[in-house]
Amino acid sequence: MYLSLGSNLGDRRANLRAAIGKLMNLGDVLKVSSVYETEPLELREQPWFLNCVVLLQTELLPRLVLKRILAIEQEMGRKRTQPKGPRPIDIDILLFGSATIHTPELVLPHPAMHGRRFVLAPLAEIAPDACHPLLQLTARELLEALPRGGAKVKKLRAS
């Protein structure tokens, strides 16, 4: 399963590291992408994000993973007071193998991933051949298909 992590409040890099540590309680973190700094998309008047993508191997079903992820976000101080607003951590399930799910609580693959450079750049870095089960395109192909411009996404050097 591939997860997208983002943070734009507090020590953003430390928040990503802490979230990855907590995800280890759900299974094995097999890969972590580089960290990318990203301009906010929809609610533009907020701090820039740090983002990464994680490959998590787990025996848990997607709905239980979602429940645990929401608990991690809450434990780390996320308050859902403003849609798309600032947050210490945001964790989204991008892909769960080739599973497709469409419920009020969970949609897989993530319904907006194919249009987000801040998701596709780190995903293509660690899994260029990961296939979107509905579009039948790889992460690399989806990234290459994005139009130029849009929100700025910059790969950061490791620190």
- Among this protein's residues, is 148 annotated catalytic? no
What's the alpha-carbon Rg for the chain, to the nearest Å?
15
**The tokens of 152 are what?**
């700025």
Q: Is 13 a catalytic residue?
A: no
pLDDT < 50: residue spans in the chain: none
- Entry pTM: 0.94
The question of whether 78 is a catalytic residue gets the answer yes
Burial 136-148 (b: 16+ CB within 10 A, else e): eebbbbbbeeeee
Report pLDDT digits (tens) over 64-95.
999 999 999 999 998 877 777 799 999 999 99
- Please pick, among 87, 117, 140, 157, the residue that the annotation labels catalytic: 87
Q: Is the dihedral of CA 102, 117, 3, 79 positive or negative?
A: negative
- Annotation says 92 is catalytic: yes
Q: Tell me the C-alpha distance between 103 and 14, whole Å.
A: 32
Q: Which residues contact 96 (CB under 8 A, 6 or more apart)?
A: 1, 62, 65, 108, 109
**Which pLDDT score is estimated for 107?**
96
Residue in 17, 68, 92, 140 annotated catalytic: 92
- List CB contacts of 147: < 8 A, sequence separation 6 or more: none
Domains in the chain, CATH or no CATH each: 2-155 (3.30.70.560)
State residue 43's pLDDT score: 74
Q: Are 26 and 65 in contact (CB under 8 A)?
A: yes
